[in-house]
């Protein structure tokens, strides 16, 4: 695997090292030792799959508060998505900054999302499937979210939003939840 750290410390793009032959290719998509060598948390508590019928569908922006904060390794196995993550670590010099990465069935790329980051994506092709390896169990009561079109975040989605869950459409704006968010994401509680 090829690990490339993004402008958000701890967040990595992971490209496969393809071993090709006449049959196609073989590549390692996860290796505990390689994750540890890059200072990444190699725990997989759950493996999830999301299928989306229609391009323009938006999922996010989701996170879990400590002590149930999640890492994620996100890969698009069919179709294409634009994946966006936002740094929610109050002590970070990149607090509230974001990156966007296109993950497709063709580029085989993955995104490693550190703990205390919000994560969401928009589907770029009909019938898209995305897999997540998550480092913590889903913990009801620990979940939170950011509004996908919050004016402070300035997230740029490439398509009009065609489908979004009711929950994702009504997360509070950052101004209304930032004090609580900073307090609950603080290292003192981790």
Q: Which are the catalytic amino acids?
A: 62, 132
Nearest Cα to 52, choosing from 110, 119, 138, 124?
A: 124
Measured over the CA atoms of residue 37, residue 96, residue 76 and residue 101, the dihedral's sign is negative
Residue 55 token pair: 């391009």
Report yes or no: 101 and 148 within 8 Å, Cβ to Cβ. Answer: no
The total number of residues written for the chain in this structure? 190
CA distance 103 to 78: 10
Report yes or no: 149 and 100 within 8 Å, Cβ to Cβ. Answer: no
CA distance 32 to 40: 9
User: To the nearest 5 percent, what fractions of the chain are helix, strand and coil?
Assistant: 15, 40, 50
Q: In which order are the strands placed within the sheet that holds 46-52?
A: 2-5, 12-15, 110-113, 72-78, 128-134, 46-52
């Amino acid at each position: 695997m090829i690990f490339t750290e993004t402008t958000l410390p701890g967040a990595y793009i992971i490209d496969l090292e393809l071993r090709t032959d006449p049959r196609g290719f073989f590549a390692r998509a996860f290796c505990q030792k390689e994750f540890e060598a890059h200072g990444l948390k190699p725990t997989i508590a759950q493996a999830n799959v999301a299928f989306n019928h229609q391009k323009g569908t938006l999922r996010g922006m989701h996170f879990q508060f400590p002590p149930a904060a999640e890492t994620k390794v996100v890969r698009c196995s069919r179709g294409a998505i634009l994946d966006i993550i936002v740094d929610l670590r109050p002590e970070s010099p990149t607090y509230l900054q974001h990156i966007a990465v296109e993950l497709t069935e063709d580029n085989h790329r993955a995104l490693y999302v550190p703990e205390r980051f919000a994560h969401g994506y928009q589907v770029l092709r009909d019938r898209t499937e995305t897999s997540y390896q998550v480092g913590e169990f889903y913990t009801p009561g620990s979940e939170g979210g950011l509004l996908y079109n919050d004016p402070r975040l300035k997230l740029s989605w490439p398509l009009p939003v065609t489908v979004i869950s009711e929950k994702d459409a009504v997360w509070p704006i950052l101004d209304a939840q930032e004090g609580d968010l900073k307090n609950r994401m603080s290292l003192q509680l981790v």
